[in-house]
């Protein structure tokens, strides 16, 4: 394997690495969305269970206040396309569960793509290593 | 592709069909209860299928009679609820509000009223209404091959868009697509800003066997792309694909750089690239880009990972610019010319 070929493989590796980075970011975004939806479901269920009593409302920075939700049965929820609709507590939970399923399906697809990319990167890495070893054995300077 | 939307549309289509059938059956019952003066006391027999002489006709039979023998009258009230559900379905799939409104209005217009001797099922009636509505909002697409063949060459195509949406890979995919279609292509490595971008496009170009014009990192992208155009002109090539750095429309300095690129290379087409998975955000960004630097067509990447399909459905209608290609995977061949009729058939499972 000559130096040009090694350089090309290094470039391929870099290109795949950049693509993989983008997919990792996407996976993280999906995971954040999924966890947020789970937290929202938990809050909605707790609000109903509180039955008019006070619930803890997080206001950021680790601070919480006790709050009474005026209408725990009615939830305003963003359904997409910047549209917010009023739904019953149960319908909002169903909607969020459906969103979680969608996000999990997307996560699966992104993870599959990422796995394929990583397998290709491993393959390229192996070829680069073997190229280096050949060059070393032949007494060349691979760099 | 867009599996989630397909499932939801299937449910919406059944709901619409169900509402119409229920209304039709109700109308039939009422008609029988109050016979018109001079009309025969007994209902006419169905034209098709076995005639049940003794038992009361079943629900399906009643509907069949109504829509094959007579006229089917659908009122706004009959489909009101089902249309509201369809509206929610579209919004939940991230279809932009103006596109959703247009679809609902079109479906309503095509369903409400008299359908004479339609001789087809209620489902076919609903599918047809949905098909017309979707085709209206999807526009006619953009046939790049035809455009190149009917314009003076080299056809200069400038690719713009935000960072990290797969613009450079898309340029390579289109290069590969055009080469396979028999066109000669040169790529201009106009992303001189992002570290590794020039190497990235060079690697792609080498793999697909296309010449790439490049300067060093940090060079003026206008100069690179001007050279690419000069190269294409002197070598009588068909197409120049101009890659550029990703940028957000609110970054004034980068946008003025894009203006300069446009002045210098005078592109025939400015193509906005974004990812389908961004949903309505992609539509908003495309709108802003079009307002700032203009766009003639749109390419959506990562459509294979988008189950909702909102961006693909709404982008053409919302920004008034056609969708040109959909990126559907990692390989160079994973790019599909956007053909509205095919997409609609796939979404409604109504293809051949």
Distance of CA B116 to the CA centre of its chain: 32
Residue B217: pLDDT above 60? yes
Select the more confidently predicted residue: B58 or B276: B276
Domain membership of residue A141 (yes or no) is no
Of A18, A82, A109, which has the smallest distance from its Cβ to B305's Cβ?
A: A109
Using the beta-carbon criterion (under 8 Å), do B305 and A25 form an inter-chain contact? no
Distance (Å, rounded) from C-alpha B326 to C-alpha B273?
Answer: 10
SS3 category, B297 = strand
Q: Is the dihedral of CA A116, A120, A123, A129 positive or negative?
A: negative
Domain extents for chain B?
3-138, 144-343
Pairing of strands B269-275, B297-301: parallel
- Extract the tokens encoding B104: 């609902």
- pLDDT: which is higher, A95 or B293: A95
Q: Say if residue B78's pLDDT is above 90.
A: no
Chain A residues within an 8 Å CB radius of B89: none
Q: Give the strand pairing for B185-190 and B239-244.
A: parallel
- Cβ within 8 Å, pair B92-A80: yes
Contacts of A26 in chain B (CB under 8 A): 277
Lowest-pLDDT choice from B3-7, B39-43, B153-157, B164-168: B39-43
Query: Domain residues for A84?
Result: 3-136
A76 within domain boundaries: yes
Band of pLDDT at residue A52, cut at 50, 70 and 90: confident
Range from B6-20, B228-242, B320-334 that averages highest in pLDDT: B228-242
Burial of A8 (0-12, 13-18, 19+ CB in 10 A): middle
Which CATH number does the domain housing residue A29 bear?
Answer: 1.10.287.370
Q: What is the spatial distance between Cα B318 and Cα B279, in angstroms, rounded to a whole number?
A: 13
- Whole-angstrom distance, CA of residue B182 vs CA of residue B333: 15
Confirm whether the ipTM is greater than 0.90: no
**Do the bridges between strand B239-244 and strand B155-161 make them parallel or antiparallel, or are there none, so unpaired?**
parallel
3-class DSSP assignment, residue B146: helix
The C-alpha atoms of residue B126 and residue B14 are separated, in whole angstroms, by 9
As a whole number, the mean pLDDT across chain B is: 84
Are residues A80 and B280, on separate chains, in Cβ contact within 8 Å?
yes
B contacts of A116 (beta carbons < 8 Å) = 330
Is A28 within a domain?
Answer: yes
**Is the pTM of the predicted complex or chain greater than 0.90?**
no
- A80–B204 CB contact, under 8 Å: no
pLDDT tens-digit profile of B121-157? Answer: 788 888 989 999 999 999 889 999 999 999 999 999 9
Q: Which residue of B has its CA nearest to A23?
A: B164
Q: Label residue B247 by pLDDT band (50, 70, 90).
A: confident
Contact between residue B148 and residue B178 where contact means Cβ atoms under 8 Å apart: yes
Residue B156 CB-density burial (10 A; 0-12 exposed, 13-18 middle, 19+ buried): buried
Other C-beta atoms closer than 10 Å to the C-beta of B71 total 12
pLDDT tens per residue, range B35-50:
544 444 444 444 444 4
Over the Cα atoms of chain A, what is R_g? 25
Q: How many domains does chain A have?
A: 1
Q: Quickly count: other Cβ atoms within 10 Å of residue B253's Cβ.
A: 7
Residue A142, pLDDT score: 56
Confidence of residue A5 (pLDDT cuts 50, 70, 90): confident
Which residues of B lie inside 8 Å of A (Cβ-Cβ)? 4, 88, 91-97, 100, 164, 166, 169, 196, 199-200, 202-204, 206, 277, 279-280, 304-308, 310, 314, 330
> What confidence tens digit (pLDDT) does each residue in A13-48 have?
888 898 899 889 989 999 999 999 999 999 999 998
- Inspect the interface and report whether the beta carbons of A102 and B169 lie closer than 8 Å: no
Which of helix, strand or coil describes residue B131?
helix
Q: Is residue A60 part of a domain?
A: yes
Nearest to A81 among B203, B204, B310 (CB): B310
Superfamily the domain B144-343 falls into: P-loop containing nucleotide triphosphate hydrolases (3.40.50.300)
For A105-123, the pLDDT digits (tens) are: 889 989 998 999 999 999 9
Query: Mind telling me how many Å the CA of B332 is from chain A's nearest CA?
Result: 14
Q: What is the DSSP letter of B36?
A: P
Interface test with B, best of A9, A11, A13, A15 (most B CBs within 10 A): A15
Q: Does a structural domain hold residue A55?
A: yes
Domain B3-138 is found in CATH 1.20.120.140: yes
Res B22: pLDDT? 82
Query: Are the CB atoms for B255 and B285 separated by under 8 Å?
Result: no
Assess contact for B83 and B16: CB atoms under 8 A: yes
Using an 8 Å CB-CB cutoff, list chain B residues near A80.
91-95, 279-280, 308, 310
Percent of chain B with pLDDT over 90: 45
- pLDDT at A120 (0 to 100): 92
Query: How far away is chain A from the Cα of B146, in angstroms, using its nearest Cα?
Result: 32
Residue B146 CA to residue B100 CA, distance in Å, equals 30
Residues of chain B found within 8 Å of residue A83, distances taken between Cβ atoms = 91, 97
């Amino acid at each position: 394997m000559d130096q040009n070929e090694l350089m090309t493989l290094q470039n391929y590796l870099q290109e795949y690495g950049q693509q993989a980075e983008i997919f990792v970011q996407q996976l993280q975004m999906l995971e954040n969305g999924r966890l947020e939806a789970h937290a929202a479901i938990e809050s909605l269920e707790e609000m109903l269970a509180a039955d008019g009593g006070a619930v803890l409302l997080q206001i950021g920075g680790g601070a919480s206040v006790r709050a009474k939700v005026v209408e725990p049965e009615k939830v305003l929820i963003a359904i997409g396309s910047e549209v917010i609709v009023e739904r019953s507590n149960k319908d909002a939970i169903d909607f969020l569960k459906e969103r979680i399923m969608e996000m999990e399906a997307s996560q699966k697809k992104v993870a599959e793509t990422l796995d394929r990319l990583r397998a290709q990167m491993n393959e390229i890495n192996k070829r680069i290593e073997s190229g280096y070893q050949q060059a070393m054995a032949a007494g060349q300077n691979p760099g | 592709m867009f599996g989630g939307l397909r499932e939801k549309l299937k449910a919406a289509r059944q709901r619409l069909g169900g509402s119409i059938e229920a209304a039709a059956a109700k109308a039939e019952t009422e008609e029988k209860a109050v016979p018109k003066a001079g009309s025969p006391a007994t209902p006419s027999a169905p034209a098709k299928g076995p005639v049940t002489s003794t038992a009361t006709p079943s629900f399906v039979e009643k509907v069949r009679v109504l829509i094959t023998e007579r006229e089917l009258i659908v009122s706004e009230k009959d489909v009101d609820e089902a249309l509201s559900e369809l509206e929610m379905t579209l919004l939940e799939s991230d279809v932009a509000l103006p596109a959703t409104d247009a679809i609902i209005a079109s479906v309503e217009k095509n369903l409400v009223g008299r359908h004479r001797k339609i001789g087809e099922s209620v489902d076919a009636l609903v599918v047809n209404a949905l098909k017309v509505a979707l085709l209206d909002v999807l526009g006619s697409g953009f046939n790049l091959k035809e455009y190149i063949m009917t314009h003076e060459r080299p056809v200069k195509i400038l690719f713009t868009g935000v960072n990290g949406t797969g613009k450079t890979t898309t340029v390579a995919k289109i290069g590969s697509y055009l080469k396979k279609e028999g066109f000669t292509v040169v790529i201009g490595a106009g992303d001189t800003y992002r570290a590794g971008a020039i190497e990235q496009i060079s690697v792609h170009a080498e793999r697909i066997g296309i010449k790439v014009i490049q300067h060093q990192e940090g060079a003026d992208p206008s100069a690179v792309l001007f050279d690419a155009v000069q190269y294409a002109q002197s070598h009588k090539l068909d197409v120049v694909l101009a890659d550029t750095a990703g940028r957000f429309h609110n970054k004034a300095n980068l946008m003025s750089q894009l203006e300069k690129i446009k002045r210098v290379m005078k592109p025939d087409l400015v193509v906005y690239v974004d990812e389908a998975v961004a949903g309505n955000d992609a539509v908003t960004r495309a709108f802003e880009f079009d307002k700032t630097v203009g766009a003639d067509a749109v390419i959506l990447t990562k459509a294979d990972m988008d189950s909702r399909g909102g961006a693909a459905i709404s982008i053409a209608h919302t920004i008034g610019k056609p969708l040109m290609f959909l990126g559907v995977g990692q390989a160079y061949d994973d790019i599909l010319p956007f053909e509205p009729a095919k997409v609609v058939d796939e979404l409604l499972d109504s293809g051949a």
